[in-house]
Structure 1
Amino acid sequence: MSPVVFYGSPQGVPVKKPMSLLRLLREIHIDLKKQTDLISRDVVWATFPRQDEAIRFSKEHAHTKVFSYQDHLSGQRRFLVSTHDEFWRRYNNMDPQIRHHYEVIQEGSPCHIYFDLEFNAKLNQKRDADEMVDTLVAVTFSALQDKYSIEGQEEWIIELDSSNEEKFSRHLIIRIPKTAFKDNSHVGAFISEICSRIAAQRAANPNLDKLYITKDSGAEPV
């Protein structure tokens, strides 16, 4: 290496002034703070008995989300604050029998289309749940096409089933690539429109009648 390059030259590139001690210490402090923030962010895992406490804590800790779960010992609902990475690391190692968690979508947050579908299985033994879900998805995709010119795709759908002999329970999430509704209220307005379509077209379309279930013994399907 040329001495001029190594040391600098009065006639060439001036020699850089040594960094002041205060500036050096400041940059070291910034680097250490970044590392500390990264470490603390990765290991956040705090539980709360109340949702408002969890949300308040989450707002004070960047990159965290609020989750809800049912305590397998007490049966009570609790709220958890963690990052997605840390949550998945622990959740992935949990006993499947106690994996009863879901993320709390906070007010004002972007939101995907979702359905929480439940009914009494014993009162609706003649209902084909899979066929009902397929019909609902078809109506939803039709509404997406009519309202937003979006052609729905099967691969956008995530189905989570926790049905048993007593109750049919399935959660549907429709994740449109690179697209979400502004917040939960906008999703709600879209779902309300879907329900209105089903009610209005029920008489003319026998398939839509399959979406109605019996809630109480002897009652009319709703």
Structure 2
Amino acid sequence: LTNTEVFCGIFLAPPVRNDGGDPKVFDMGSRWSQRLHACASTTRASIQTTTFSTLNTSSIGDLRITRRPSDQPVLWAMEKTDLMIADINLMWGRVNDKYEGDSSLWTTRSEELYLPAGSAGILAPILLPGEPFTMPSAAWATVYQTTRAEALTDYAGVSDYAVKAKLQSLIDQDPVRGHANIRNIIWTDIMSNAVLGTTTKSNLMVTPNHPSIEYDFRFAIPGFILLALWLPSIVTALALVI
């Protein structure tokens, strides 16, 4: 619960024209400025109620979305392990109150939970099979990539003017927090494309993990054949020695 995952990096903000000219045009001799920011990002989970309402029209502009955070603390848990951060991605989430104090879990009662660090934030920014709870880390790892060649898409607006204009508008609207909002909307875009779908299952199938060792004897067939070929020679050699 204390090993919160935090991603850090240096962020070069989009260029802002400061000579009063049209920011959509790069005039010869025009003056522009870019700010350099040191950023730190983490993910906080919480329980919220989202309400969708409409005026019974077909226009998406009439859709109203309101979000209300829960005012009551809930029980959060993550699996307890002795492994290093680089070797595991901890499962986390809200659990039933009966699991409070369970010996196999770290639990805390709070209105929110800062997600734990794991190997997904250290390895390449990919969604690991069967581990959707690692997607927040993979998304932040993508946001903080250092080269555009590795990026999933052009979030810098180098080859997409609409993206560049969007980033510049965020700076114009809020010169103080606009740079942080850029990071947040990129993370949200990656997350929404990775975890949202059209179907939702109410039950999750899980299987207990019991440490065991198994061997498929079909892979030993070549060894058995070799033993059958050499066994008469070995027995004969031993008989002669004795």
Taking structure 2 as the reference length, the TM-score comes to 0.20
Taking structure 1 as the reference length, the TM-score comes to 0.21
- The structure carrying a bigger helix percent of its residues is 1
